């Protein structure tokens, strides 16, 4: 896909103008074919001009960006959310594998998002939107000092073949493979994603996952036993042994104790 036909949907005139100027300056392959200042106008606009890319604000008077997408039986266009949300929302977007740009929009991030959109044929799936909304709701009420259980939480893992929707309780560990991250699962083959382990460390930070080593993030629910040592080792439910780095040992053991107390597994 070389040419992108885009529409801008945002209730702030200044935001639409700023994005328009950036796109014209940095992304000449993007043709802006319409603008709308609310969800209802945006729905009509999309139906009329049939864009293949939509820059969509989340919070608008009346209906939200989510309401707009929910009005379509199939979202067969690319979506890049533009939002003023900060840290809590970033984690939610990464959970869902949906593209986003934080306001004020960074030129480099805009170019990267547009470049990525060129190779994407499918739009946003209902599962991605559901995961996004679940984690937006969860992270808004979550204090930084708290960890949440992994129950009923899902994560979207984008690969070359498509997007895999995985229950977090099914993730045993995440392993660094250079620029890639390998997800070891309870059932089925491992899933390899072209994102750094550091990014998933940030995503999973408020849940019962912990980066025990520079190469591994483990799910505390799948630890069978801990073996003492300089840093120690953990044995996982799939019988793999993972080293715990010495500098992470104290924090890890504290979190492991907290997990067992909160989960009721500590006898």
95 and 160 share one domain:
no
Whether residue 78 is contained in a domain is answered as yes
Q: Is pLDDT of 48 > 60?
A: yes
CA angle 168, 171, 175 (to 5 degrees): 130
Residue at 122 is within a domain: yes
Residues 6+ apart with CB under 8 A from 9: 35, 36, 37, 38, 39, 41, 42, 45, 54, 55, 56, 57, 60, 65, 68
Domain stop point among 137, 171, 187: 137
Tens of pLDDT along 146-181?
A: 556 666 789 999 998 889 999 999 999 999 999 999
Same-domain pairing of 123 and 167: no
Report the alpha-carbon distance of residue 73 to residue 242 in Å, rounded: 45
CATH number at residue 79: 3.40.50.2300
Q: Say if residue 95 is exposed, middle or buried (CB neighbours under 10 Å; 0-12, 13-18, 19+).
A: buried
Domain of residue 45, residue span = 4-137
pTM: 0.69
> Which H/E stretch holds residue 26?
helix 13-26
Query: Among the three residues 103, 137, 171, which one is the final residue of a domain in this structure?
Result: 137
Residue 145 has pLDDT above 90, yes or no: no
Q: How many domains does the chain have?
A: 2
Same domain, 115 and 17: yes
Residues 219-238 pLDDT 10s: 999 999 999 988 899 999 99
Instruction: Encode pLDDT of 120-139 as tens digits.
Output: 656 788 888 888 887 776 65
């Amino acid at each position: 896909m070389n040419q992108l036909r885009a529409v801008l949907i945002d209730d702030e005139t200044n935001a639409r103008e700023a994005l328009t100027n950036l796109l014209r300056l940095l992304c000449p392959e993007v043709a802006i074919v319409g603008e709308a200042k609310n969800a209802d106008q945006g729905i009509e606009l999309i139906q009329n001009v049939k864009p293949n890319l939509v820059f969509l604000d989340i919070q608008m008077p009346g209906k939200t960006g989510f309401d707009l997408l929910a009005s379509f039986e199939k979202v067969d266009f690319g979506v890049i959310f533009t939002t003023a949300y900060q840290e809590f929302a970033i984690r939610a977007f990464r959970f869902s594998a949906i593209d986003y740009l934080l306001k004020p929009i960074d030129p480099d991030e805009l170019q990267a998002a547009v470049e990525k959109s060129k190779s994407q044929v499918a739009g946003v799936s209902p599962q991605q939107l559901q995961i996004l909304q679940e984690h937006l709701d969860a992270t808004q009420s979550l204090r930084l000092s708290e960890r949440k259980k992994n129950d009923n939480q899902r994560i979207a893992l984008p690969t070359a073949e498509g997007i895999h929707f995985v229950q977090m309780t099914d993730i045993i560990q995440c392993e660094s493979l250079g620029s890639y991250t390998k997800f070891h699962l309870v059932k089925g083959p491992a899933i390899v994603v072209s994102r750094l382990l550091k990014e998933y460390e940030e995503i999973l930070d408020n849940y019962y996952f912990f980066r025990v080593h520079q190469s591994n993030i483990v799910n505390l629910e799948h630890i069978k036993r801990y073996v003492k040592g300089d840093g120690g080792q953990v044995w996982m439910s799939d019988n793999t042994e993972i080293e715990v780095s010495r500098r992470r040992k104290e924090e890890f053991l504290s979190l492991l104790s907290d997990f067992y107390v909160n989960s009721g597994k500590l006898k």
